[in-house]
Amino acid sequence: MEIFRGRRLWIETKTIRLPSGKEREKVIVHPSGAVAILPLHGDRCKLLRQYRYAIDRHIIEAPAGTMEQGEDPLTTARRELIEETGFAAGSITPKGFIYTTPGFTDEMIFLFEARDLSPSQEYGKDEDEVIEVIDVAVSDLSGMIRNGQIVDGKTICLIQRCLGC
């Protein structure tokens, strides 16, 4: 039974059958698809310092965004990279996907590595985003994860998939 439907997600309660055969009522959150991109430029990486209202703080994360209705992940990645960083990529390589929190949601985030960056004239972040583009040395990323400067799960997974850190 549908509990809520919004622009970017819907929530339902559903009776599910466990592998043991027992039935349980569960709440499942169904967001629209999303992407995250690791923009690499030589030995540097473009990340974001972004305010996240759900945790009421700024965090460092990779550019990311929600897929529009009918939009494929690669198109979303190209669009979001420009919107959030002001850079277009000469090449974008898919790096698989992750499930964010499969205990209550079927959300998938498609991961991409972007290279050959060049400034774009189409730059224009969403009006509700508080974003600062930061330039980070690739050699610093692993340490930033270890010391807690990067705590965003999708960004940590993306760095690991792209760089093996």
Instruction: Give the residue numbers marked as catalytic.
Output: 127
Q: Which phi and psi angles does 108 have, rounded to 5°?
A: -120, 135
Structure tokens at 130: 């508080």
Closest by CA to 89, choosing from 65, 118, 125, is 118
Is-contact 114 62, C-beta < 8 A? no
C-alpha span between 57 and 16 (Å, rounded): 36
